[in-house]
Amino acid sequence: MPLPALPVLLACPPATPNPAVTVEVVRTAIMHGDWSQVVDDGTRGPVDLPALVGIIHHPDATILVDSGLGLESRAGRYPRFPLTLLGDVTVPEGEAIVERLPEPPDLVLMTHLHYDHVGGLLDLPGVTVWTTDEDWRTYGGLAIGFPPRLRNGVDWRPQDMGAGRATQVLGRPAVDVLGDGSIWYLSLPGHTPGAAAVLVRAEDGPWLFVGDTAWVDQHLAGARRPWLTRTIIDARIREEARSLDWARWMKAECPELRVIAGHEPSLSAGIASTPRP
């Protein structure tokens, strides 16, 4: 049975039980920091932020949302200075995405091209990877933290998310990844110039990966990154604020929607689709 069409304007995705599609969220690495660098709500103290990856199981493909950090980080070869100043990173045995999958994925959908999201691609040579045109122009082999050998090490497929050139769903320019309406790649700029989100219409309802538009659930509930962190980390602060407002609306108004922040600590142990009764 065809999936119900997604609304063009901002709205909740319609309920879409789809037993052919399931989702997992897994940790690939641990980034050690302090809450004072993460949220502006007065929280203090150490925090371990997971580098999360979504695994979408579709009958026609295994698709990742981001790649996290991998074996090069465990060996201490990636990232290099000055990104090492951001804090220690641990990649536990067996948790790199290449160690979690029995075979390489068919596709990786990048929410953005920062180092802690692309590092796992170093373990997946030749894999097909989507990013946005805007992020590719900004980061493709030139930015700090983007491994130069990745420019030709995987099969990059930049997507044109410009107004009028991509389908509009939920108030965002979007691309239907497999053409069956189950997985959508949405424009969500701000954290990086071409940041993206991924909407999955799965067995247990819709899932929304917002990447680093929100690092943690507190960002979806009213907190923001501290001013200095935003100034350093977010490429376009006003666009980031608008994208975060969109993600907050989706989470607050759509009870069936699971919104996945990029580094939410409560997801360190993982989460997966739960079949409907």
> Is residue 138 domain-resident?
yes
Q: Is residue 174 part of a domain?
A: yes
CA separation, residue 14 to residues 32, 170, 174, 202, 204 (Å): 38, 11, 16, 11, 12
Instruction: Give the tens place of pLDDT for each residue, 243-274.
Output: 999 999 999 999 999 999 999 999 999 999 98
Band (pLDDT 50/70/90 cuts) for residue 83 is low
Scan for tokens 């609306």, then name that residue. 249
- So what's the pLDDT on residue 244? 98
Say what the pLDDT of residue 88 is.
Answer: 86
Confidence of residue 82 (pLDDT cuts 50, 70, 90): low
pLDDT digits (tens, 9 = 90+) for 92-114: 999 999 999 999 999 999 999 99
- Closest Cα to residue 265, out of 98, 48, 54? 48
Count of beta carbons in the 10 Å neighbourhood of residue 92: 12
Residue 86 included in any domain: yes
Residue 15 lies in a domain: no
Do the domain assignments include residue 4? no
Rounded to an integer, what is the distance from CA 63 to the centroid of its chain?
12
> Which CATH number covers residue 258?
3.60.15.10
Q: How far is CA 122 from CA 19, 50, 125, 130, in A?
A: 32, 19, 6, 15
In a domain, 7, yes or no: no
Note down the domain range covering 213: 22-272
* C-alpha separations of 189 from 134, 259, 273 in Å: 9, 17, 27
Q: Is residue 1 in some structural domain?
A: no
- Averaged over 144-151, what is the pLDDT? 84
pLDDT at 17: 79
The mean pLDDT of 195-203, rounded to a whole number, is: 96
Q: Is 6 a domain residue?
A: no
Domain count within the chain: 1
The whole-angstrom separation of Cα 167 and Cα 173 is: 6
pLDDT digits (tens, 9 = 90+) for 45-70: 999 999 999 999 999 999 999 999 99
How far apart, in whole angstroms, are the C-alpha atoms of residue 37 and residue 183? 33
> Is the model's pTM score more than 0.85?
yes
Question: Residue 103 burial (CB < 10 Å; 0-12/13-18/19+)?
Answer: exposed
pLDDT-based confidence at 193, cuts 50/70/90?
very high
